[in-house]
Structure 1
């Protein structure tokens, strides 16, 4: 799935109960819009949303309309559902929006890796639709004392959605109760933006993408890059930019009841749809959301305590995932050996490492396995095209610690007949730090495995990316700082996969070679997001630790995880998905998060050590378990610095790096695109 949308018009929507959580600077509309405003062209149009979704190259884009309170001459309210499908799971083609026989409608953007049983031949959306059909449709919203449905064996929609493991965003129309359900997973791994109704645009809008404001659009197609820009010149009545009312939807489950059947619309406009937010019901998920760690601050006798006293001994040979007991090297569902488990893991290195590192390695491997377990459709396609080199998975690759771990695990989880694209972007040719480390990382991977890797070198010149920069600005919105833009451009270019392959590196040859033009067609892109937040990888973590100790460090990491949806993931998902790719985040798997929380904080990081040693200590031990000795010692380097886009952006927009540093360029809000 690569995008969803919903537009509700004709019914006033009251979101005031969510403020200030909604994060909107705009005045929410809790009453019908004045007549003078209703005749204006909407600020955000359905056509814009459709065009943006089509850019992603979906296999199918569908629209479903629902009319409420309809008569022979008019309808009270209109609901427009949009679903753009990039099908990666299931045998039969699935077109969204899905509509069942009772009129329920679902648009779903996500994957189900646990909680709901999805067979290898099944499609996530179809399975979820089937489960939603059996959910309670009364107005108790999960309060079992007053719920007759519970007595009949039904569960509420929030209860069902709370069980899902994996990234998701959805909109669901429950026809029987006349209720819109919508939301995104607890960590915000899939983008979902919301436009809260205002006096200038009384409609309610949900979207995976940031639609272009219609105020400055030509009457023709919106497909040209120059149309994708922030529209600073159009302001709403209170002086706020028209798109300022478009916000990241806070993680959670929401509902709006729209039963207008008993309203006399000829005489009254008293009906208002109230937005309600619902609690997550799964206790384990709540623990992850609240970032509850048992061991934070070591006592003098605990710091050197052997972790065998804190972590079960059987973690050496087994781990738990989705409630199933699975042995080392065994695929959870099929009980077949993983393709490329090195003997050193079981017989050698594992005996010389800590139990926490072993536990994290096992959780990460199963996370990567879930995200690269292909259904028979893809395998059949491979068999029919043996002459072609199919590359199902690509990896955002800097050659740093996180991406090297993912590459080594991907090698273990993916059949050896598939090649792997390593996508590396540079704004300074072969001199960028990430390009240097990527080439060194490739050599280290080639030493530990015979896998055929393809390092895709994506070279960029910021001065020539005028229309592309404007386009990425629309993708990252509502994020709008230079740091967001720099990261967004780097991610967008990397996900596009349009670069060069060095034939010498690819074929292990030392003499004649040439750089060949190449574009990665892999639809799945693994990304290392979440590693720094959970393992103390940022410099601010050391600052907090030095000023406030272990407790302050724990609180800072908790803050990072609880705001990652707003600061990172929505923006990144939009930039990657724009290329028709699906971002998957192994470090943000629920079982990985739980595993890291079970480990004492002093085993996660030792920030008394210098950079490259104590930061992300646990992941450095994981890297050594995988045989990645060089990668285990690499310091943290963010993509905007490693690719050198930050340097080029500073020179372009501030004149020099020095001037940019004086202006704290990373946090400066962009007011106008530079030509």
Structure 2
């Protein structure tokens, strides 16, 4: 998928039923600058296979005015049903809806009306038949969906998950009150969405109940932004992207978009639309619904049973795996685990391998994707590649899962040529991969950039990372955006009289699926702040810091990263954030995951280092953690450009400085 957007106008939004703490204050500096054309342009530049819109026009009219020309009408609420009705018109194009509002096309003007415009850009990655969104059924329900379903619904390998989800939603409860789900006829929508495994953002109009459903998976692995109505802009907007506003002046553009968007919190929300007797207008009552899946609630709570070790436990070489606890992974592990004794690292390896398979091979890759590659060898999947621990594990597991006829692109970005740390480790890493898997075609794609030559690109990425707004966000965003673009040079070695000769060939990766290592550091104590917290607060402090990281990853990282990668027509997939991987990592004692008494490159992400050794990646198993902004050297270049020197940047805590205020 590529992106979704919804614009709701003419409805008074009632937010009193949801917690104000979940959303930022509404005292924003903004102007009404985002048009539907802006949003369509932002989605279109992602290079989707299709871009479609569908409108719903809602009109409030008295019972006496309802006549045979009404396309569809229904009662709303017990207290309103005697004298108020909705008249609903479905439009395939925005233009049709606006003509209707002006009294054309045989649809009369009324005093109170509203419009909902659903837009979806589809990057076809699953199924065998092209699918266009928005999806609509005979009951008038409409779905726009951005995600991948890996469990919770029965989906055959060659089916399209959006179509199956649409059919299932159509059988869900459609009662008018969604407060008491125990009274629902059929499965409640929150129960269905709670059961889904995989990343998703969804907007669904349930016609019979006059309810708009919207939300984001429990970890926020797909971007969803929201603009709640304000005095400056009375519309409700939901969007995968933060489009560029229609202004000529850069100062006006910067000011107008300041604090306009918020990251939408993870969860399922509904907005039931009813008629207000007081002022004869349409009102949308927004409700938040709790997750109903018990395992999912445990993962969100991110509580670990074993946090503080007793002395004998800490020095034990192996944690005993309870019998039957990991039946789901034993078959997967049997294919590559040679030892008769399964350790936590074996089970994490099995969970990760299954996660990579789900994201790359368990479902049919849309054939047109493979056929579209212009290079000699098809490359459906690429890896964001630094040569470090996480990306080496992903590359090795992708090799185990992917058909051997496919090459694998390893995308590496540098702002310091061949001297950047990530470039050095990437070149070493590809040699290791060729040793481990000599028959696979590995393609190291070296993407070189100079910050001083990226003025226009930096402005564009600033719109992509919004509402994130620090220099650290911008540095990470531009590095991800360039890497995902895949436009660089192939680094290859050939033998000449027994000596290796390296040469570069211009190359652009056409892979639409990009594996990214997000979530590994948060779950396995890979950040420097984890070591700091451990030193000051021991095991309990470390656990709480890791828990905080996991519970805010949707806001700090994933939405921003998804937008920057998707802008290139690529879909980011996060194997370390698979539900089963999170569960397995949480089930093991914290001291099996990390031992921060040991030095960097040994005790941090201890369990992943053991996984790397099981895969034969011994060099990667000892590499210290390096974030992309430091490994690519963009942070260093940014500090010099914006603060004069690294020293001045450090004194100003440059990473946390707001771009708009500097």
Q: TM-score with structure 2 length normalisation?
A: 0.88
Determine whether 1:328 maps to 2:328: no
Secondary structure of the residue aligned to 1:253 is strand
Deviations 1:491-544 (A, max 9, x none): 000000000012326999845543110000000000000000000000100111
Q: Which residue of 1 aligns with 2:337?
A: 346
Give the Cα–Cα distance (whole angstroms) in 2 for the partners of residues 195 and 131 of structure 1.
29
Are the equivalent residues in 2 in contact too, given 1:497–1:521 (CA < 8 A)?
yes
Deviations 1:400-452 (A, max 9, x none): 00000001101101111100000000000000000000000011111111111
Determine whether 1:99 maps to 2:136: yes
Distance 1:648-1:179 versus aligned 2 partners, 3 A rule = same
Deviations 1:48-101 (A, max 9, x none): 111100010000000000011156114611000000000100111110000001
Give the Cα–Cα distance (whole angstroms) in 2 for the partners of residues 84 and 60 of structure 1.
6
Shift of 1:42: 3.4
Q: Which residue of 2 aligns with 1:341?
A: none
Determine whether 1:250 maps to 2:241: no
Give the Cα–Cα distance (whole angstroms) in 1 for the partners of residues 378 and 18 of structure 2.
47
Q: Paired residue for 2:254, among 210, 232, 254?
A: 232
Deviations 1:299-354 (A, max 9, x none): 23332346453x13567xx7416xxx734356xxxxxxxxxxxxxx433xx46x86
Give the Cα–Cα distance (whole angstroms) in 1 for the partners of residues 132 and 606 of structure 2.
45
Give the Cα–Cα distance (whole angstroms) in 1 for the partners of residues 181 and 263 of structure 2.
31
Q: Paired residue for 1:117, among 154, 157, 170?
A: 154
Determine whether 1:312 maps to 2:340: no
Q: Which has the higher strand share?
A: 2
Unpaired segments ≥5 residues, structure 2: 60-86, 88-106
Deviations 1:181-216 (A, max 9, x none): 0000000000000001001111000000002233x2
Shift of 1:671: 1.7
Determine whether 1:143 maps to 2:158: no
Give the Cα–Cα distance (whole angstroms) in 2 for the partners of residues 506 and 621 of structure 1.
33
Give the Cα–Cα distance (whole angstroms) in 2 for the partners of residues 230 and 256 of structure 1.
33
Q: Paired residue for 1:76, among 103, 113, 128?
A: 113
Deviations 1:463-499 (A, max 9, x none): 0000000000000000000000000000000000000
Determine whether 1:457 maps to 2:446: yes
Determine whether 1:43 maps to 2:51: no
After TM superposition, list the pairs within 5 Å mapping 1:623-638 onto structure 2: 623-638=612-627
Distance 1:329-1:386 versus aligned 2 partners, 3 A rule = farther
Unpaired segments ≥5 residues, structure 1: 29-39, 219-226, 235-241, 331-344
Corresponding residue pairs, total: 613
Q: TM-score with structure 1 length normalisation?
A: 0.87
Q: Paired residue for 1:418, among 402, 406, 425?
A: 406
Q: Which residue of 1 aligns with 2:510?
A: 521
Are the equivalent residues in 2 in contact too, given 1:213–1:243 (CA < 8 A)?
no
Q: Paired residue for 2:591, among 602, 619, 628?
A: 602
Distance 1:58-1:143 versus aligned 2 partners, 3 A rule = same
Give the Cα–Cα distance (whole angstroms) in 2 for the partners of residues 308 and 553 of structure 1.
20
Q: Paired residue for 1:652, among 634, 641, 651?
A: 641
Determine whether 1:436 maps to 2:424: yes
Are the equivalent residues in 2 in contact too, given 1:500–1:516 (CA < 8 A)?
yes
Are the equivalent residues in 2 in contact too, given 1:230–1:474 (CA < 8 A)?
no
Distance 1:644-1:134 versus aligned 2 partners, 3 A rule = same
Determine whether 1:498 maps to 2:534: no
Q: Which residue of 1 aligns with 2:602?
A: 613
Q: Paired residue for 1:207, among 239, 246, 266?
A: 239
Q: Which residue of 2 aligns with 1:127?
A: 164
Q: Which residue of 2 aligns with 1:467?
A: 456
Are the equivalent residues in 2 in contact too, given 1:25–1:245 (CA < 8 A)?
no
Distance 1:509-1:377 versus aligned 2 partners, 3 A rule = farther
Give the Cα–Cα distance (whole angstroms) in 2 for the partners of residues 146 and 14 of structure 1.
24
Deviations 1:85-143 (A, max 9, x none): 00100111110000001100000000000111111111010010011001000134373
Q: Paired residue for 2:573, among 561, 584, 587?
A: 584
Secondary structure of the residue aligned to 1:138 is coil
Give the Cα–Cα distance (whole angstroms) in 2 for the partners of residues 23 and 190 of structure 1.
18
Determine whether 1:52 maps to 2:63: no
Shift of 1:245: 3.1
Are the equivalent residues in 1 in contact too, given 2:381–2:512 (CA < 8 A)?
yes
Shift of 1:19: 4.4
Determine whether 1:296 maps to 2:286: no
Secondary structure of the residue aligned to 1:18 is coil
Q: Which residue of 2 aligns with 1:338?
A: none
Determine whether 1:286 maps to 2:297: yes
